[in-house]
Amino acid sequence: MSLAHYFTLLRILISPAFPILYLGYEWFGISLQALPYVLLVLLCICESSDLIDGIVARRRNQVTDLGKVLDPMADSITRISLFLTFTQGFLELPLILVLVFLYRDFFISTLRTLCALRGIALAARFSGKMKAVIQAIALFLILGLMIPYTRGILSLETFRQISIFAVSVAAFYAVVSAGDYFYANRLFIKKALS
């Protein structure tokens, strides 16, 4: 276990806090007005730990096979946990949008594993990194909009419409990035599956 791995594990361990706090904020004595700030702090910790673990791994020359598996898994767990959280409570994002992220990551991870078992390493694509950035932007936007909503400045209908639009854009790009990944690695995939 390297230092970078601990930052990655931190993201995985924090992920369950999102649904627990969002759905049970009153039980924890958190006011509705304070909830977006608490969730924003958690998201900032997760996103900054994602940056830090990559920097630490490269600077210390600690890029490992475990890290290559854990890092994207931690990203998926964190972001999908938060999107799934928002299918409940007052926001009620459509579950179908979140399933796009879930299935996309499942298929890519399975494909990487199958290829790795055949000795073929599939490299990450720039489109995959952009997918992560777009998802993070959508999450920060939702939590940012939650502040005026909880203060009565923004209507629930407007809050939902903007949030659904942002997540729809992220879901569309997730599909595009999956297509890019399959196309760029088609020869390796064909070789691994033959």
Q: Which residues, 6 or more positions from 99, have their beta carbon under 8 angstroms from its beta carbon?
A: none
Q: pTM for the whole thing?
A: 0.89
For residue 79, what are the domain limits? 3-193
Number of domains composing the chain = 1
Report which of 192, 149, 139 is spatially closest to residue 169, judged by C-alpha positions: 139
| Per-residue pLDDT tens over the stretch 128-139 | 889 999 999 999
Tell me the C-alpha distance between 159 and 180, whole Å. 32
Residue 100 has pLDDT above 90, yes or no: yes
| Per-residue pLDDT tens over the stretch 150-167 | 999 999 999 999 999 999
| Per-residue pLDDT tens over the stretch 35-77 | 999 999 999 998 888 788 778 777 877 676 666 777 778 888 9
The enclosing domain of 173 has a CATH number of 1.20.120
Element (H, E) at 150: helix 126-150
DSSP 8-state secondary structure symbol assigned to residue 154: S
